[in-house]
Structure 1
Amino acid sequence: MNKSIPPGYSFFPSMVRTYKQTKNPIGTMQESMSRFNGTYSVNLGMMRMIATQDAGLIEYVLKSNHRNYHKSPIQTEYLGKFLGKGLLTANGDYWLKQRRLIQPGFHTEKIHALYATIKRTVDEFLLTFPTGDVDVYPLLHKLAFDIVINTLFTVNVPAAQRQQLATFISDVQEYVMREVRNPHKRWWFRLSGELRENLDKAAGARDVIRSLIRQRKQDQGRHNDLLDMLLEARYEESGQPMTEEQVIDEILIILIAGHETTANALSWSLYLLAHHPDELRMAREASRSLELHQVVGNEALNNVIRESMRLYPPAWISDRVALENDAYADFSIPKGTVIVIFYYGLHRDAHEWSDALSFKPSRFSKEHNKDIKKIYYPFGAGPRLCIGNNFAMAEMVIFLQSFIQMFHVEPGNIEPNIKPLVTLRPDKVMLKVKTV
């Protein structure tokens, strides 16, 4: 039997769908997933895409045959021109070389040393946390940024420099997604100066990080932070460290990957707990009077975070491009096809999850957690599994335990809108916050 590409949209309907997707990316994809049973093709002329939320195809692309699939230019070029050539934006041999160099610094025993820094940052933040009707997202956005800055540098980074880096990270996401979703406007982004403005912001962010690196190199002391790890890492074959520009590239990746995603996941977690008071009560009772290492390993807290990332995955979509002709099940995958992986859809697929749209942290309990790895991808999968996944889970549960022991949350009077940028950002998470 001859295999063919999945059913989907020919050229003109694809162009219409692309326009609709700029207005409502998730809704448009959900509509198409429903119509084509979880996998469909898109014909954009020079670019052919296969979008999928099929668990088997996703497993195949990310793990079983990952060598045939690289990240597409959407990530490596569009994002790379602002962030440089770090783990998130690199491919091939260079990516593998960097992964092998940096991964030991994120092993569990290494990040244990950072728990105290995370806890101190959280405690200082909560001392001034407001009560009443509160939009928690900008507050958690600032906290997540402070955590990543403090664990990267463990030194006082001036407020103006922190703000410059935070603004760059937020602005570059919005710009990149506008460029990706509106390819016909790229000439205008150049002509209007918007591209140059964002490239200048990237250059300014690199200058801030460069100055911090040079200060550290002049300092003879040890700080046991992520910057120390990056500066001390040595390539096996040469014994040489990374260049200054390589270190800057990797720090920018850590900032954008470890800041925005954490703020989003924590905001959605509080939103869901506010709407499920029984789950909030159980998490609070299960996490009282714990030592720091017990907090990080607490099953109830971890399950709340896992379930919130199932319903609202911070990395809601990703892509790979086929290096050679391939096939999966009844489908052919021609060389050069971009595979668009719709994690948001898979995580809410009623064929894969019982009561898929309900918030049930207990589904991640050990007795229920047998086959979830094949349908749950909050940090990706395979060789490109997020290098900071253990660190991210630790900082989120440390925050969650501290917060729910001090505060109670109830639904606010406004429902948050989803802003699907590079990450799944909420637009206002209004909650009623009370002290416990």
Structure 2
Amino acid sequence: MTTTTLQPKPEMAPRIPPSIGRFPLGVLPDFRRNPLALYVGAMQEHREVVRMRFGPRYSYAVFHPDLVKHILVDNNKNYIRNRVGNELLKQIIGLNLLTSDGDFWLRQRRLMQPAFHRQRIAGFGSLITASTAAMLARWDQLPAGEYVDIAHEMMQTTLQVVGQALFSVDLLNDSSGLGRSIEVGAAYFAYRLARLFTPPLWVPTKLHREYKATRAAVFHLVPDMIAERRKLLAKQELAGENPPSTHAQYDMLDLLLEARYEDTGQPMSDEQ
């Protein structure tokens, strides 16, 4: 008598993700040297998902769109944000939709969902396209063989888009220093994320001093911007103006100030 054990179909069998990076540092040197090349190379070699060693920690990079959908949409309750990177991000931007999980995240998500309706954000596409076209046109004017600092260029374009989309301001030429504060915050995040060991924030390094100063400036500037916008919207509502006449289109601050919780009808606080 012969006994046959049925095997699952190959496409249904669970697969252990391949690992890259050797003890003790893993891929950390490659990440610090050229993170884009690291992830592009991993995607080209492994296609779907790969486990990366970052010193004593591991990180999974997921590339296949079906797996991304499985994690972010179909089974998002089974996954939480990266603890190390997320705790660091909380120090910079606080607890919000980008840094929260669980019930708090779900409540924030439902609150902000109308603001992210496709029709309401479609207008931001032209802003992104125009900023990108301006960057490419600037490159076309460079002499042949001229080197381009891609990181700097992308940061400048990002600041231009973010400033207009969020606050309807030009962060590249903003005298308040908000654009510079965002740049410093991004540099601090990248610095901490790419190193196994960093001194505590209270150690007075040059980057720490600059980061704490710019962070304090942001926590002063943004509430002032929100307060001024609330006054403007209230004034225009009394005058029967809708949408606000000071903008060619709603920016994200307008949309978020309009958002209301389903259960209470209350708006977000300024801190949120």
What's the TM-score, normalizing by structure 1?
0.45
- Alignment match, 1:109: 119
Pick closer, same or farther for the CA change 1:14–1:232 going to 2, 3 Å: same
Question: For the residues of structure 1 that align with 2:101 and 2:156, how far apart are their CA atoms?
Answer: 31
Counterpart of 1:181 in structure 2 is 194
* Shift, 1:183, TM fit: 2.1
Instruction: Give the % identical residues.
Output: 25
Report the CA distance shift for 1:18/1:238 in structure 2 as closer, same or farther (over 3 A). same
User: How far did residue 244 of structure 1 move?
Assistant: 1.0
Are positions 1:218 and 2:252 aligned together?
no
Q: 1:172 aligns with which of 185, 204, 224?
A: 185
Q: Is the 8 A contact 1:87 1:98 kept in 2?
A: yes
Higher strand share: 1
1:104 is paired with a residue whose SS is helix
* CA 242–196 in structure 1, closer or farther in 2 if over 3 Å, else same: farther
Q: 1:41 & 1:77 partners in 2: Cα distance?
A: 21
Matches of 1:146 and 1:3, distance apart in 2: 45
Q: Aligned pair in 2 of structure 1 residues 188, 228: CA closer, same or farther (>3 Å)? A: closer
What secondary structure is seen at the aligned counterpart in 2 of 1:41? strand
Structure 2 gap segments, 5+ residues each: 1-6, 8-12, 245-249
For residues 229 and 161 of structure 2, what CA distance do their matches in structure 1 show? 19
Tell me the secondary structure at the aligned position of residue 98 of structure 1: helix
Number of corresponding residues: 237
CA distance in 1: counterparts of 2:62 and 2:122, whole angstroms: 37
Contact 1:5 1:41 in 2 (8 A): no
Letter in 1 for 2:208: L
| Cα distance change, pair 217–36 in 1 and its aligned pair in 2 (3 A) | closer
**Within 2, Cα distance between the matches of 1:199 and 1:93?**
31
SS of the aligned residue for 1:235 comes to: coil
Q: Distance in 1 between matches of 2:55 and 2:138?
A: 51
Distance 1:44 1:156 in 2: 37
Give distance in 1, aligned partners of 2:226 and 2:88: 26
Q: Any residues of structure 2 matched to 1:408-419 within 5 Å, and which?
A: none
Tell me: CA distance 1:4–1:201, structure 2 relative to 1, closer, same or farther (3 Å): same
Q: Which of 159, 167, 173 lines up with 2:174 in the alignment?
A: 159
Maintained 8 Å contact 1:210/1:244: yes
Cα shift at 1:144: 5.2
Aligned pairs for 1:129-148 (under 5 A) are 132-133=141-142, 142=156, 145-148=159-162
Are 1:25 and 2:39 matched, yes or no? no
Q: Structure 1 CA distance, aligned partners of 2:138 and 2:53? A: 49
Instruction: Tell me what 2:203 maps to.
Output: 191
Inter-CA distance 133–99: structure 2 relative to 1 (3 Å threshold): same
Equivalent positions of 1:33-432 (< 5 A) are 38-42=48-52, 47-111=57-121, 118=127, 132-133=141-142, 142=156, 145-154=159-168, 159-161=174-176, 164-184=177-197, 186-187=198-199, 190-193=202-205, 194-219=207-232, 220-221=235-236, 223=244, 224-246=250-272
User: What secondary structure, in the 3-state scheme, does the structure 1 residue paired with 2:203 have?
Assistant: helix
Change in Cα spacing, 1:46 to 1:107, as seen in structure 2 (3 Å) is same
* In structure 2, distance between residues paired with 1:156 and 1:79: 24
Cα deviation digits, residues 211-248 of structure 1 (max 9, x gap)? 111222333125244322222221111111111111xx
State the Cα distance separating 1:81 from its structure 2 match: 0.9
CA distance in 1, matches of 2:73, 2:85: 19
Alpha-carbon separation, structure 2, partners of 1:32 and 1:113: 35
| Structure 1 residue 187, shift from structure 2 partner | 2.1
Q: Name the aligned partner's letter for residue 17 of structure 2.
A: P
CA contact (8 A) 1:82 1:199 kept: no
* Gaps in structure 1 of 5+ consecutive residues: 247-436
- Quick check: 1:6 aligned with 2:17? yes
Paired with 1:33 and 1:64, the residues of 2 have a C-alpha distance of 22
Contact kept? 1:83, 1:202, Cα under 8 Å: no
Structure 1 vs Structure 2 CA RMSD: 4.0
Give the distance between the partners of 2:169 and 2:192, measured in 1 at CA. 36
Tell me, in whole angstroms, the C-alpha distance in 1 between the residues paired with 2:174 and 2:78: 44
TM-score of the aligned structures, taking structure 2 as reference length: 0.67
Cα distance in 1 for residues equivalent to 2:213 and 2:257: 26
2 CA distance for matches of 1:45 and 1:114?
40
SS of 1:50's equivalent in the other structure is: strand
- Match of 1:191, SS state, is coil
Q: Residue 23 of structure 1 aligns to which amino acid in structure 2?
A: R
